[in-house]
Structure 1
Amino acid sequence: MDIRNEEPQQSFGKNLILGFQHLFAMYSGDVLVPLLVGAALGFTAKQMTYLISVDIFMCGVATLLQLKRTPLTGVGLPVVLGAAVQYVTPLQNIGKHFGLAYMYGSIIIAGIFIMMVAKFFAKLKRFFPPVVTGSLITLIGFTLIPVAFQNIGGGDPTAKNFGDPTDLILGFSTALLILIINVWGRGFIKRTAVLIGILAGSLVAAGLGKVGIASFNDASWFQIPRPFYFDVPKFEWSSSLIMILAALTCMIESTGVFYALAEITDRKLDESDLQRGYVSEGLAAVLGGIFNTFPYSTFSENVALVRLSGIKSKKPVYYSAFLLIILGLMPKIGAIATMIPTSVLGGAMLIMFGTVGAEGIRMLSKVNLNNDNMLIIAVAIGLGLGVTVQPNLLHFLPSTLQTILNNGLVIGSFAAIILNIFFSMGKKKEA
């Protein structure tokens, strides 16, 4: 189905199912952040349960901030927000060396910074022509492919059972089922291919004894998020600077996501749209600091779902946002989603991340592929993928610089922007 055609109106039930599909697509990636940060900072099981629940609640709030357009906030695109993995290392370092109070203070400062520079950052729109945004979106998809394969193998490359044949079968069979449904499925079945693949893979995994219920048994039925639950934020310049640098990398990725969704939904973005999008992320980060969770940014997985499902409407994402809020208030129900095997989610991610990369290639196909643009694409994608595959290449640099330069998306984006400026200057000089 060509998603540029007029899409049919969906019923409440269908929008709800599509909302669940968006939720399942982002859930594991979002839960990963509190698990990594909480484990590094020595959180107890009770603290970890609370952290995950409140994080899910805040994902729903942050998503609503982006969906609903107001004079100050909301890009108004079908985008889902979650805790970005780019923040994990900075949060772990700040929490270990300065303590939780300063970690949450740095999150608030980063959020305020994002809101302050939103107008300026939106004016950089002219530095993101199709050759740059196409390269950026291609990188978003392709740099995440290794994450999908890691999940297919079981999630932890250092584990002895990583790459267990059962996990490989579950992961690749999930991906295969999603492909089969997209080829032979029709109508609503085709639009929910990812959700069907995840559920079917989970059922098979349950039959093989790969689904645990401990997280469900240990979770409580109801929980209300409380401000300053772990600690009252304190502020310190160096930890704040580290978080600001991480926030800049997420703003670059969000720019690519905004442009990808605008392309899919046939919408032209202007500076005010981008500014509202950045302000929403900054406000979400401030709320994250107040409620002792995380900063929040766009999730690329959900871009692929908009493309694969063919549903350009924001309604399913609204449903997903409200579902996230409900799950955050009811940890027992939210724990069900954590029971999905990592390998099954990895199979779904393989299709979704590949689709994001393919969307970038589709955008690049519209670019005039002259020598200059070919070099921009080659260098940007080459550097981005290179840093992603070999992050230890820059281990001799200070940790602050590594936070930026180990991010393939940031390196590739900077390369594309700078080369585009140089080539444009050269053309003006010749003229």
Structure 2
Amino acid sequence: MPKQEVSHQKAAVLGLQHLLAMYSGAVAVPLLIGSALKFNVGQMTYLVSIDIFMCGLATLLQLISNKFFGIGFPVILGCAVQAVAPLQMIGKKFSINDVYGAIIAAGIFVILIAGIFAKIKKFFPPVVTGTLITTIGLTLIPVAIQNMGGGNSTAKDFGSGQNLLLAFVTLVVILALEIWAKGFLHSISVLVGLIVGTILAACMGLVSFEPVLQASWFHLPQLFYFGVPHFEWSSSLTMIIIALVSMVESTGVFFATGDLIHHNVSEEDLKKGYRAEGLAQIFGGLFNAFPYTTFSQNVGLLQLSGIKTKRPIYWAAGLLMAMGLLPKIGALVTIIPTPVLGGAMLVMFSMIAVQGMKTLTKVDLNNNNNILIIAISIGLGLGVTIYPQIFQNLPATIQLFLSNGIVITSLSATILNLLLKGKTTKQ
């Protein structure tokens, strides 16, 4: 990992930048699940607060590398978005206690199979990792564009002039700082863009401080807040499948981060990374939060800031935990308008795609087999991302796997590489 001297003051600001980059994705999960299960205001407050706190704790588990767990890379963990629909289904069909039993069971499963799953490293040469990292970035870009338009594509004001103005002002500020700024100001270009965009939105009367006023001052995590977890076999099996999907995604993020920090990701790294995620899931179930996975959103930010050490991520984790204990501060972040976040996301997600393309430069692109692996895998991944309903007539369990574009790309690239083994990379 690169040795970079970053003061605690600068690391704190960089940590805040990382926090803002992942925050909307992190709080979306409790809001979606809580509303689907018709939670009251008190329950929703706890759900959001504990989620933020657990994002910080889960990140720490991944940062602190030891013999048993933690990959030790500058990565941030957040809620697994792919778990939303299954958790809603379990909560409606059974109970909230079955939800948390299933999350705990999946976490235990991840820890138990981490060593076996880590052996997949040999199936991930540059042609596979490059294709996977590129697809991660490309599949996230539509999310950024949707946020630039306002978030809800069916809303009347989607793509309105004011939404586009906020998104592009944020984008232009980030680009200007990336091109002309020097030193620390260059490193915090995304944070500055978010602040400028939010100030502009406030001047336009588009920022509401109501969430801050309504939030409580202090909130403690509570063991079994919603009751003792109950283990129902079909719910547990469903969440185990989701955990496998998350592990495949995390593998791509681990390789992408490894590329950025010039670290050759080993089988041991993967094993400890998976175990940290399993532990995070168990804690999520015990404290009635969610399954947690390594976020891909922040990989692009590492590239943009140029600061690839863990110190800012430690600050991000600490800030997340503090915000979980102090909901009023946590609510302050939610005032950033969606179009402003979208403008920043476009830059970060595009950078992930470019990082994947850089990895593909290690591949012999004069070899037609390599071209086929890359083209077919990216095509399938993007296609499924846009039209996940293509598999709607297959069994529900299979749909859980195949409706995820990143998983499809992983499977396609790995299988095609195995079929064409020996002709995939430069010697």
TM-score after normalising by structure 2: 0.97
Q: Provide closer, same or farther for how the CA distance between residues 19 and 426 of structure 1 changes in structure 2, counting only shifts above 3 A.
A: closer
Coordinate RMSD, CA, aligned: 1.3
5 Å matches for 1:275-286? 275-286=271-282
* 1:126-150 superposed Cα distances (whole Å, 9 cap, x missing partner): 0111110111111111101111111
C-alpha contact 2:49 2:323 (8 A) present in aligned 1: yes
Match of 1:399 among 381, 396, 400: 396
Deviation at 1:161, TM superposition (A): 2.1
CA–CA distance in 1 between the matches of 2:158 and 2:392? Answer: 25
CA–CA distance in 2 between the matches of 1:304 and 1:253? Answer: 15
What percent of counterpart residues are identical?
A: 55
CA–CA distance in 2 between the matches of 1:394 and 1:271? Answer: 33
Whether 1:74 aligns to 2:70 is yes
- 1:121 match: 117
CA–CA distance in 2 between the matches of 1:381 and 1:20? Answer: 33
The amino acid of 2:283's aligned partner reads L
Secondary structure at the counterpart of residue 230 of structure 2 = coil
- 2:364 match: 368
Match of 2:339 among 339, 343, 356: 343
The amino acid of 1:363's aligned partner reads T
CA–CA distance in 1 between the matches of 2:225 and 2:155? Answer: 33
C-alpha contact 1:7 1:311 (8 A) present in aligned 2: no
- 1:356 match: 352
Whether 1:418 aligns to 2:382 is no
CA–CA distance in 1 between the matches of 2:227 and 2:402? Answer: 31
Where structure 1 has 5 or more consecutive residues not aligned to the other structure, the ranges are: none
CA–CA distance in 1 between the matches of 2:323 and 2:336? Answer: 15
- 2:134 match: 138
CA–CA distance in 2 between the matches of 1:114 and 1:7? Answer: 32
Whether 1:202 aligns to 2:198 is yes
* 1:91-146 superposed Cα distances (whole Å, 9 cap, x missing partner): 11111111101111110011011101100010111011111011111111110111
C-alpha contact 2:370 2:423 (8 A) present in aligned 1: no
Whether 1:313 aligns to 2:309 is yes
C-alpha contact 1:383 1:408 (8 A) present in aligned 2: yes
Q: Provide closer, same or farther for how the CA distance between residues 9 and 401 of structure 1 changes in structure 2, counting only shifts above 3 A.
A: same
CA–CA distance in 1 between the matches of 2:364 and 2:400? Answer: 34
- 2:240 match: 244
The amino acid of 1:394's aligned partner reads F
Secondary structure at the counterpart of residue 82 of structure 1 = strand
CA–CA distance in 1 between the matches of 2:155 and 2:101? Answer: 35
CA–CA distance in 2 between the matches of 1:59 and 1:421? Answer: 36
Q: Provide closer, same or farther for how the CA distance between residues 7 and 286 of structure 1 changes in structure 2, counting only shifts above 3 A.
A: closer
CA–CA distance in 1 between the matches of 2:4 and 2:127? Answer: 33
CA–CA distance in 1 between the matches of 2:106 and 2:189? Answer: 37
- 2:156 match: 160
- 2:43 match: 47
* 1:392-430 superposed Cα distances (whole Å, 9 cap, x missing partner): 222222332221111000111100000011111899xxx
The amino acid of 1:375's aligned partner reads L
The amino acid of 1:163's aligned partner reads G
Match of 1:378 among 366, 375, 378: 375
- 1:214 match: 210
C-alpha contact 1:26 1:302 (8 A) present in aligned 2: yes
Deviation at 1:269, TM superposition (A): 1.7
The amino acid of 2:309's aligned partner reads S
Deviation at 1:180, TM superposition (A): 1.1
- 1:301 match: 297
Q: Provide closer, same or farther for how the CA distance between residues 426 and 15 of structure 1 changes in structure 2, counting only shifts above 3 A.
A: closer
Secondary structure at the counterpart of residue 143 of structure 1 = helix
CA–CA distance in 1 between the matches of 2:187 and 2:318? Answer: 21
The amino acid of 2:339's aligned partner reads S
- 2:28 match: 32
C-alpha contact 2:369 2:423 (8 A) present in aligned 1: no
* 1:298-327 superposed Cα distances (whole Å, 9 cap, x missing partner): 111111111111111100000110010100
Match of 1:91 among 72, 87, 92: 87
Would you identify which runs of 4 or more consecutive aligned residues in structure 1 move more than 3 Å?
A: none
C-alpha contact 1:90 1:243 (8 A) present in aligned 2: yes
The amino acid of 2:90's aligned partner reads I
C-alpha contact 1:182 1:190 (8 A) present in aligned 2: yes
CA–CA distance in 2 between the matches of 1:408 and 1:354? Answer: 17
The amino acid of 2:401's aligned partner reads I
- 1:262 match: 258
Deviation at 1:7, TM superposition (A): 6.2
The amino acid of 1:227's aligned partner reads L
Deviation at 1:390, TM superposition (A): 1.2
